[in-house]
């Protein structure tokens, strides 16, 4: 297999290297590096014509997600079925006994895989936790769902039953 080809250096690259090399003190017994060429100046940046399209800006993140609150973009009928637990989950992820770091990575890969497979409803079991505010995973889950890598995937989150706060059902967005 032949070695990969190196890209050719531009005049700007050569000028930048020469300017950098001029600031270096050579080792004893070595000749100093060449001074930067005075004639080489950086090429001016061409202005974008007024009729040229602007670069695409990333889509803004959806509004923050809260477990149990009705999100925009979801009709009342679907929200009521989802909130009451009548919309069954297709997949389940149990995070019991995991560290927060392992639970986060499991959740991230689980949601990306479910979204890629066009799954609509999933359930994440965090457990109730032993403290007053619950366990670490239960407390962190809403924060994780609002991260820029996961928020675009999730449309809504709710507890499937008021008596089971250790489980959260997620309604995923339809892939575009």
pLDDT in tens, 113-148: 999 999 999 999 887 776 666 678 888 888 898 888
Look at residue 96 and tell me if it is in a domain.
yes
pLDDT digits (tens, 9 = 90+) for 59-86: 666 677 878 888 877 888 888 888 887 8
What is the pTM (predicted TM-score) of this model? Answer: 0.62
Contact residues for 39 (Cβ-Cβ < 8 A; gap 6+):
none
pLDDT of 36 > 50? The answer is no
Note whether residue 1 is domain-resident: no
pLDDT of residue 40: 47
- Res 57: pLDDT: 64
The answer to the question of residue 165 being in a domain is: yes
Taken in order 106, 125, 90, 59, the sign of the CA dihedral is negative
Residue 109 placed within a domain = yes
The tokens 């040229």 sit on which residue? 52
When divided into structural domains, the chain yields a total of: 1
In a domain? residue 108:
yes
Asked whether residue 38 is assigned to any structural domain, the reply reads no
Indicate which CATH number applies to the domain containing 109. 3.30.1370.110
Q: Please tell me which residue, 106 or 162, carries the higher pLDDT value.
A: 106
115 in any annotated domain: yes
Is residue 126 situated within a structural domain? yes
How high is the mean pLDDT of the chain?
79
Tens digit of pLDDT for each residue in 145-172? 888 888 888 888 888 776 677 788 898 9
What percent of the chain is modeled with pLDDT above 70? 75
Structural domain of 130: 76-172
| Contact call for residues 158 and 82 (beta carbons, < 8 A) | yes
């Amino acid at each position: 297999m032949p070695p990969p080809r190196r890209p050719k250096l531009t005049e700007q690259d050569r000028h930048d290297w020469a300017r950098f090399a001029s600031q270096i003190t050579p080792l004893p017994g070595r000749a100093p590096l060449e001074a930067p060429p005075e004639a080489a100046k950086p090429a001016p940046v061409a202005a974008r014509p007024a009729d040229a399209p602007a670069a695409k800006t990333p889509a803004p993140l959806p509004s923050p997600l809260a477990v149990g609150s009705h999100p925009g973009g979801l009709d009342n009928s679907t929200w009521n079925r989802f909130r009451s637990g009548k919309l069954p989950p297709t997949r389940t992820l149990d995070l019991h006994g995991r560290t927060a770091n392992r639970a986060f990575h499991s959740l991230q890969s689980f949601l990306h895989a479910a979204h890629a497979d066009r799954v609509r409803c999933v359930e994440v079991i965090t457990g109730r936790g032993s403290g007053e505010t619950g366990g670490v995973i239960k407390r962190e889950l809403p924060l994780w769902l609002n991260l820029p890598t996961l928020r675009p995937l999730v449309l809504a989150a709710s507890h499937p039953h008021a008596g089971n706060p250790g489980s959260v059902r997620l309604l995923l967005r339809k892939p575009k």
